[in-house]
Structure 1
Amino acid sequence: MINITFPVLDGKVAIITGGAMGMGLATAKLFAEAKAKVVVADLNEDKGQAAVAEIEEIGGTAFFVKTDISKSEQVKSMVAQTVEKYGQLDVAVNNAALTPDNAPAAEFDEDYWDKLISIDLTGTALCMKYELQQMIEQGQGGSIINISSVSGFRPQPNNIAYVAAKHGVVGMTKVAAMENGDKNIRVNSVAPGAIDTPMLRGSLEETGQTEEEFAPQLSLLGRFGQAKEIAEASLWLASDQSSYLTGTTIHADAGYTSR
């Protein structure tokens, strides 16, 4: 008889960056349900503390660390505080990112380019750097999940910085996987498609479109994805049920990049 169980992270410690809202919050809550001790890392302290309260309300264990992932010392401190609080680091979901830019390549905003790259690309690299150092020091393996995007595989017009950053996240994931497989540290990514978030809803309002009109352009399933569906992909990659997977990407995009 095949025993299929919900992926569990019992006894594991997990950092979720950008964990105060959206996909990050959904991931933090789901990981807590899977019995992980969760570190919610985010710049927004009010929403971060609210996220911790939500997790505690469902019986989970969590604490908040205010972190600007574009700052090396803050990322290093995030990992150090995690280990000080829970004694180890087993899983990290590097989810924090800025929203895409909105200008053609010939006119892109150079200031926003610098800001976005410092968080979406450099920030993700810094997170991996210090997460890897801790996992290597522990000598017990680990799992790192970087959140990329369909834009890391199928470029979109008018967001050159975001497309560049998300392509970079995919490449960095592969390099880290190559370098750390012999240490039993797995590094993978998830590339979400059109996920039902306030940002997406705001875009619909601006264009005057409905989900029924717009979703089929982005999804073979004819609907937007839910934040929890991305969290579930990350949970599987974090768990032992994906123990032979590293250096790859789960395309959680309802077939958008298959066309």
Structure 2
Amino acid sequence: MPAISRGEVSYITGAASGIGRALAAMLVDQGGLVIIADINAEAGSKFAAELNERAEKVVAISVQTDTTNWEEQLAGFQKATTTFKRIDYVFANAGIAEHPWLPPFNPETAASRPIVKPNLATANINLTGQLYTAALALQTFERQEIGPSGFRGKLVLTSSVFGYYPSRAMPMYAASKAGVINFMRSAAQYYADKNITVNAIAPNLVDTPIAPDVLFVPFREQKLLSDIQLVLDQFEKLLGDSKVTGQALSISQDNVWTHPADKYMFEENNPACDLISVQIFKLFGDSTP
């Protein structure tokens, strides 16, 4: 299994709990340095202190970051590069579960209720927040030399199997995770020849604090939770000298697979899709062929 080079630096959003916390601990165990970026400043600082105490040296710093706030994310990246001089990996991992975007459908009471503005918090955090992280990662990588593993940097986004599959109860979650997947595939093509890899990890439900514990009870009973160690194993495949890019590494219970890109009617559409890229690059003044 690939591993980081000792001393490589990882910036992880949502790192004070759940998948991000487990990932940070794994990277430190491999000899890495980590930035714990989390909206919960107290939890982030406490976790960084635990990692430093265990290592008996500074291997982690924490930054308080609301990923939907560009200025806070920028400040976090600036602190990271000031402290550790470069960032080798960025894990855009912060996310939340579904928040109801509209009131429950009820024609009998609809006329007596005002039409309300939708709640887009889930999409804002799970998509816009990750795109802010990605934008900072890619511009940071552009400004630094190739690192010890042979890359300017590696970007890994946390998506979900709901990036491929619809959910009648989670339209905002599914929309945002699908956005992450298609952004990843598109960005991976653009950066393929630039010593930058872009990938996504897409698990089914994992037992983390992302939702109230009561939600997980029936999943535990029916053994329908995905194993967090399998999730970490997929992250690990992308480390070090791994050249994998543009892939959605997926986990559901004990099943692991690389989810293929949609190829339906691809040959018929590809000439127009490819030409639009050429024309858009010209319009934007980008020399990419």
Shorter-chain TM-score above 0.5: yes
Q: Based on CA coordinates, which of the two structures has the bigger radius of gyration?
A: 2
Contact 2:2 2:236 (8 Å CA) reproduced: no
The answer to whether 1:211 aligns with 2:203 is: no
The answer to whether 1:139 aligns with 2:148 is: no
2-structure distance, mates of 1:41, 1:177 = 24
1-structure distance, mates of 2:166, 2:215 = 18
- Describe the superposition over 1:181-225 as per-residue Cα deviations: whole angstroms up to 9, x where unpaired: 1111000000011212243742044xxx36232x3xx4xxxxx22
The answer to whether 1:62 aligns with 2:60 is: yes
Q: Which runs of 4+ in 1 moved over 4 A?
A: 102-107
Contact 2:2 2:238 (8 Å CA) reproduced: no
Provide the residue aligned with 1:126 in structure 2. Answer: 132
Provide the residue aligned with 1:94 in structure 2. Answer: 92
- Describe the superposition over 1:204-251 as per-residue Cα deviations: whole angstroms up to 9, x where unpaired: 44xxx36232x3xx4xxxxx22334323321321322x22x1011101
Contact 2:207 2:216 (8 Å CA) reproduced: no
2-structure distance, mates of 1:164, 1:6 = 32
Contact 2:102 2:118 (8 Å CA) reproduced: no
- The equivalences for 1:151-170 within 5 A come to 151-170=162-181
Partner SS state of residue 231, structure 1: helix
2-structure distance, mates of 1:144, 1:128 = 7
2-structure distance, mates of 1:210, 1:178 = 37
For the aligned residue pairs, the C-alpha RMSD in angstroms reads 2.4
Provide the residue aligned with 1:149 in structure 2. Answer: 160
Contact 1:93 1:234 (8 Å CA) reproduced: no
- Describe the superposition over 1:50-88 as per-residue Cα deviations: whole angstroms up to 9, x where unpaired: 211232243171000101111111111111111000000
1-structure distance, mates of 2:256, 2:28 = 30
Higher RCO, 1 vs 2 (CA within 8 Å, ≥6 residues apart): 1
Partner SS state of residue 85, structure 1: helix
2-structure distance, mates of 1:188, 1:118 = 20
Provide the residue aligned with 1:81 in structure 2. Answer: 79
Contact 1:101 1:160 (8 Å CA) reproduced: no
Partner SS state of residue 187, structure 1: strand
Paired residue type of 2:214? G
CA 34–175 in structure 1, closer or farther in 2 if over 3 Å, else same: same
Deviation (angstroms), 1:137: 1.0
Is 14-23 or 231-240 further displaced after alignment?
A: 231-240
Paired residue type of 1:80? Q
Contact 1:177 1:188 (8 Å CA) reproduced: yes
Deviation (angstroms), 1:127: 0.6
More helix by share: 1
Ranges in structure 2 where 5+ consecutive residues have no aligned partner? 106-115, 147-151, 260-289
Contact 1:70 1:122 (8 Å CA) reproduced: yes
The answer to whether 1:34 aligns with 2:21 is: no
Provide the residue aligned with 1:221 in structure 2. Answer: none
2-structure distance, mates of 1:54, 1:230 = 23
Paired residue type of 1:233? Q
CA 6–134 in structure 1, closer or farther in 2 if over 3 Å, else same: closer
TM-score, length-scaled by structure 2: 0.76
Provide the residue aligned with 1:252 in structure 2. Answer: 251
Is 54-63 or 7-16 further displaced after alignment?
A: 54-63
Ranges in structure 1 where 5+ consecutive residues have no aligned partner? 219-223
2-structure distance, mates of 1:9, 1:111 = 45
Contact 1:36 1:61 (8 Å CA) reproduced: yes
Partner SS state of residue 157, structure 1: coil
Paired residue type of 2:22? A
